[in-house]
Structure 1
Amino acid sequence: MTALFLMVPAYGHLNLTFKLARQLQANGYQIVYGYLGTPEVARQVHQQGFTVHWLQSLPFGIGVEEATHKEKRESYLESLLDRFTDKTFRMRSTDLQRIVETFKPEWIFIDAFYSTDFITLYPFIKDKKVKVVILQTMLSVYEDADTPPLTSRRIPGVDTPESIRGAWRQYYRLRGLKWGWQTIKYLGRSNHRIIRQKFRQNQVPDRYRIRSDKTFHTGFDQVPEWILYPQAFEFPQRTIHSFQQYLGLMVDTDRVEELSPAYITMRKQLEQEKSANPELRIVYASLGTVSNAHAKPRLLRRFYKTLIEAVASHPNWRLIASVGPELQTAFPARISNGWIYGRVPQLHMLRHCDVFVTHGGGNSIQEGVLGGVPMLAYPLNDTWDQNGQTARLVYHGCGLMGDLRKDRSLDMERKIRQLLTEPTYQQALENLRGQLEHFDESRVFSAAVGERKA
């Protein structure tokens, strides 16, 4: 028995799935990740005890053509040719047919960002007893008049209903402009038109109709969607569709993390300092594993320099910063008030810090809530879900929101001090943690697991 995962090859997406994969594995399933990404990220999957099956393609209808040819001199013509010859779709179809025939999975879990794989897979699984599930690595992204899109910082009850509806109108306006420009640029072969064409061509039944009333990626009606979050973290006004289900807290506390010798040495030194000075407070900062993809390096360097200054203003504060491999050489490893690393084992660090400075990514916020650490969130841009995640963090009283471009060291210092000294944040975290429903296999695939156990 096999469960196949088709996920975006990024730590943030993969980490959210490991708890689900581990539970399936414990019930006798072989776990296979269909993968096309860097060896470094693939190693993370291997470390969890799962199989990596290397693919040769990426899903169609998500702009793969531009990414594939961006370094080529004739990138536009190459992309246009791929779209008219259906090269991306054909390669993906061959890849997925082969992996289905090889492993014969009972479950196929598709990352919501790879949702068009459902169209590609349909001819190969329609006559088989294969359960297909969309895994949503964000909160619900479907339109809801009472809650703003995840790209927005607006908060129900704080912002007016009209401003929330306006945020949805603004999102659709921008998306419409993007779709229109793509249609012109690629002579009618835009992503959304190709998706609709392949939906008809692969004879996907109308009951799975394409849904566009959502942000980020293509949706399908009545295809089960499992949201890898606890519903308690949502705005309570949020409408949930019949095919959606929140799985609960999906932080995999059994996740294998490498503790480097340098990190272990730092931890010992901090323990000695804290033993001698009980007033010592640890500020941990990480803007995510792909921060360079969301913000310009110059802006990120300025942010970390400002944060170093803010923490240095207090002799009883220490900063541990995970700046990513791209920025690591821009800072000394040891600074007067802390340490700078390319990567930090985050689950381990969150057990030993007092404030978490984050970009507002869903993984990081869930891990911060589980660790009971007040958070100061700096969303990196208005394109993805960091604004919406941060808005919910503030709504639940578990942290504060910063401005990446405007905050200076005094602003950061004031907000960190507020999180350290005001007990309301710790109380809110405890209250939210008490409400969080943890992942319960019986609620989501008990029938299949029960059959397997029998």
Structure 2
Amino acid sequence: MESQYIHEQKRKSGKWETLKSVWKNEIYEFRKNELCKIIDSINPTVIFIDIFSSSDILVLHEKYKNTKLLFINPMLSTYRVDGFPTVEQGNWPGEVADTASRIQAEKISIKSLVYKPFDYCIRKAMERQFRQLISIGAFSVKYPVATDKTSALLFDNITEILLAPLELEISPKVRKPNQHYFGLCISSNRNDTELDPSFDQKFEQIIVKKNAGKRLIYCTFGTFYQGSDRALVEFLDKLLNAIKMLENVEVILSVNKFVIQTLKFQRNIPTNIHMFSRVPQLKVLRHSDLFVTHGGLGSIKESIHFGIPMLVYPLDLRYDQNGNGFKVEHHGLGLRGVFQHERSEDMKWKMQELLANPIYGNNIRQLQQKCSTNYSSDKLKDTLNQIVLN
């Protein structure tokens, strides 16, 4: 992140400046000053470090030897375990050629040194920098770099708390000794902000129809797309065509205002389809019969919390959405599809199946019960106390 750091410091940019920044460990010093100022003001007993900021542990471990440093993971397990798909994979190993196995790491050769000397030097400087950081206080001796990591930089023997139930993993065998699963971790009293001003009034009318026998389908893709992206508009156009073939349904579609404007310009929107820029998701899920989602773990956990079958269309295949969709289907909590290539007829069949077949709802309710039993507040408090005290 040196180039971004240099830009934010309003300094002259370029590869030479980036190389100097890496060599001088500028970001390390900046981050240390930033974090220590906060930590010294509150004197915490424990510090939770998001795994996507896991390098912060290299900044903190030497100075705060008496403070418990933990990793907190907002996804399912990000380690590679033989025989099981990794967090981002949507298939069993060997079913199809894995993307990771097709992409080989770039080899630094004499040619790259000649034609890209700064890139070569920056990479070597980063390797030197990393060796220096993990050697501080003999960190790498006690906490070696995890060789089975996938999506984030992780270290062996660091306690990790996962904000998810183990039962959602493809198998309990993927759990490592240093990992602790904390269940659904739903904030049921969450107050969503920046809601569509037309939502409350229209939602009351939708609930009247729901109580009269209509089934409610809720569809949203989070904040992945901020504008009227062509791929999203094309997908939603096919989804609306599929919904037209369904009977006795009401649909809440939550997408950004630019997509709403584009769809309304391109086609007539049926009266049973209600489009909003932002809705209170928990309130809508509480009354839904089907959730069409991109497969973010937060949305999946909330759907499980309310017992709603899911139809998952992963958008970002680099991280966990693809794997989450695979796990939803594997556990019989719903179905999944391919975002860019799904046909309206396939969407229709899947939505009909999920609305009509009680097995999906039964599976989710069983998982709900397991989460309620295995991750009660008392059990989680005891687990956390043990983690902090050990």
Classify 1:178/1:366 alpha carbon distance in 2 versus 1 (closer, same or farther; 3 Å): farther
The structure 1 segments of at least 4 consecutive aligned residues displaced by more than 6 Å after TM superposition are: 70-73, 178-185
Confirm whether residue 362 of structure 1 aligns to residue 297 of structure 2.
yes
In the alignment, what sits opposite 1:401?
336
Work out the CA distance in 1 between the residues paired with 2:108 and 2:61: 26
In the alignment, what sits opposite 2:26?
87
Match of 2:119 among 177, 183, 186: 186
Corresponding residue pairs, total:
374
Confirm whether residue 101 of structure 1 aligns to residue 40 of structure 2.
yes
Q: SS at the partner of 1:138?
A: coil
In the alignment, what sits opposite 2:369?
434
Q: Percent identity, aligned pairs only?
A: 29
Alignment of 1:103-142 (within 5 A): 103-126=42-65, 129-142=66-79
Contact 1:66 1:76 in 2 (8 A): no
Shift of 1:446: 2.5
Classify 1:224/1:184 alpha carbon distance in 2 versus 1 (closer, same or farther; 3 Å): farther
Work out the CA distance in 2 between the residues paired with 1:67 and 1:365: 35
Q: SS at the partner of 1:219?
A: coil
In the alignment, what sits opposite 2:325?
390
In the alignment, what sits opposite 1:272?
208
Confirm whether residue 171 of structure 1 aligns to residue 100 of structure 2.
yes
Match of 1:289 among 209, 219, 223: 223
Work out the CA distance in 2 between the residues paired with 1:179 and 1:308: 49
The one-letter code of the counterpart of 2:275 is I
In the alignment, what sits opposite 1:65?
3
Shift of 1:215: 0.8
Match of 1:319 among 251, 276, 280: 251
Shift of 1:113: 0.6
Classify 1:162/1:261 alpha carbon distance in 2 versus 1 (closer, same or farther; 3 Å): closer
Normalised by the length of structure 1, the TM-score is: 0.73
In the alignment, what sits opposite 1:36?
none
Q: SS at the partner of 1:413?
A: helix
Larger Rg: 2
In the alignment, what sits opposite 1:27?
none
In the alignment, what sits opposite 1:46?
none
Classify 1:153/1:306 alpha carbon distance in 2 versus 1 (closer, same or farther; 3 Å): same
The one-letter code of the counterpart of 1:84 is W
In structure 1, runs of 5+ residues without a counterpart are 1-62, 156-160
Shift of 1:426: 1.3
Work out the CA distance in 2 between the residues paired with 1:402 and 1:211: 33
Normalised by the length of structure 2, the TM-score is: 0.85
Contact 1:65 1:83 in 2 (8 A): no
In structure 2, runs of 5+ residues without a counterpart are none
Contact 1:369 1:433 in 2 (8 A): yes
Work out the CA distance in 1 between the residues paired with 2:132 and 2:277: 44
The one-letter code of the counterpart of 1:189 is I
Work out the CA distance in 1 between the residues paired with 2:127 and 2:319: 19
Confirm whether residue 147 of structure 1 aligns to residue 84 of structure 2.
yes
Cα offsets for 1:375-418 (capped at 9, x unmatched): 00001132111111111100100111111111122221111111
Work out the CA distance in 1 between the residues paired with 2:108 and 2:102: 10
The one-letter code of the counterpart of 1:65 is S
Work out the CA distance in 1 between the residues paired with 2:294 and 2:352: 19
